[in-house]
């Protein structure tokens, strides 16, 4: 059970780091207050990725965001992957470590996607055991991120927010609230995003994610939003952020852009918009 501060990230805008922006970030950071990296991209032995990360960590607080731990997996956590993560967190000593409420590995095969979980007591127990193992191995609290959902499980018998509260209660982990994921899931599964935020334990939130989504339609012509991280954050997601910040107070805000990554000025504009949203919030 970890009962530490939720994260050491500043309540400022951050951005998902892409190597093509290495020089821009140092030259024109603007209101940028921190950087997030995907843990798996820095699990090589050396070379440019590690050298760049070491250099950036001297200028900015770093958030390490894992995409490959498969915390919701039915099988045990991969001990080799956990050891690599421990090594990275050990030398980098990042301001925060976060992972996803999802699974991605089955029978030792990594599927490279964040796959969904049924919300049941059995899943709470499994996820909590895995988070305990991670927090024990890393010697620090982690943040768990709410997923974007495209479908639901007939077997689910609790809401996502009740599920997250139960996991937090069992493990002492913090939460990473992705408001784009909330908007995507709410649209896809037909609940109100504000209602989700109202029932979310905002006092446990150590970081907020913002990203772009694509629009599609399901078998019945209903809107189906895809969490693509390949464009600007949508206006209703910015509105949901304002709604959230008005209730949570200022939080570290991350702009995520992972596919069709644009030139730095496009990201800088998103960072400026996040900074403006934070300025509206009474501290």
Does 189 contact another protein by CB under 8 A? yes
Does 50 contact another protein by CB under 8 A? yes
Please enumerate in sequence order all residues whose Cβ is within 8 A of that of 171, keeping only pairs 6 or more positions apart, or say none: 1, 2, 128, 131, 132, 135
- What Cα–Cα distance (Å) separates residue 77 from each residue in 7, 17, 127? 24, 26, 10
The span from the CA of 283 to the CA of 278, in Å, is 9
Does 133 contact another protein by CB under 8 A? no
Residue 205 has φ and ψ, to the nearest 5°, of -85, 120
Does 123 contact another protein by CB under 8 A? no
Does 191 contact another protein by CB under 8 A? yes
Smallest distance from the beta carbon of 68 to another protein, in angstroms? 3
Does 150 contact another protein by CB under 8 A? yes
The two tokens of residue 37 are: 């990296």
The span from the CA of 205 to the CA of 2, in Å, is 15
Q: How many residues bind another protein (CB under 8 A)?
A: 52
Smallest distance from the beta carbon of 104 to another protein, in angstroms? 7
The span from the CA of 8 to the CA of 112, in Å, is 28
Does 226 contact another protein by CB under 8 A? yes
Does 194 contact another protein by CB under 8 A? no
Question: Which residues contact another protein (rule: CB under 8 A)?
Answer: 40-41, 43-51, 67-70, 73-74, 78, 80-81, 84, 103-113, 115-116, 118, 150-155, 188-191, 217-220, 222, 224, 226
């Amino acid at each position: 059970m970890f009962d530490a501060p939720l994260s050491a990230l500043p309540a400022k805008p951050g951005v998902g780091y892409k190597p093509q922006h290495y020089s821009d970030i140092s030259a024109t950071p603007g209101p940028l207050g921190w950087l997030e990296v995907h843990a798996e991209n820095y699990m090589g032995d050396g070379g440019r990725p590690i050298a760049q990360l070491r250099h950036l960590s001297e200028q900015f607080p770093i958030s390490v965001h894992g995409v490959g731990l498969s915390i919701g997996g039915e099988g045990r956590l991969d001990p080799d992957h956990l050891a690599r993560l421990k090594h990275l967190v050990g030398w980098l000593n990042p301001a925060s470590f976060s992972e996803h409420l999802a699974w991605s590995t089955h029978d030792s095969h990594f599927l490279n996607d964040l796959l969904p979980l049924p919300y049941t007591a059995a899943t709470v127990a499994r996820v909590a055991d895995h988070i305990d193992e991670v927090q024990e191995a890393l010697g620090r609290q982690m943040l768990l991120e709410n997923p974007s959902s495209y479908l639901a499980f007939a077997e689910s018998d609790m809401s996502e927010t009740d599920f997250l509260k139960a996991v937090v209660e069992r493990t002492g982990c913090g939460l990473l609230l992705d408001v784009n994921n909330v908007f995507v899931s709410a649209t896809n599964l037909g609940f109100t995003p504000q209602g989700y935020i109202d029932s979310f334990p905002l006092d446990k939130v150590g970081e907020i994610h913002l990203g772009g989504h694509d629009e599609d339609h399901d078998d019945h012509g209903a809107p189906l939003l895809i969490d693509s991280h390949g464009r600007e954050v949508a206006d209703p997601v910015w509105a949901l952020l304002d709604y959230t910040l008005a209730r949570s107070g200022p939080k570290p805000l991350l702009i995520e852009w992972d596919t069709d990554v644009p030139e730095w000025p496009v990201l800088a504009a998103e960072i400026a918009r996040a900074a403006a949203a934070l300025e509206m919030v009474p501290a």
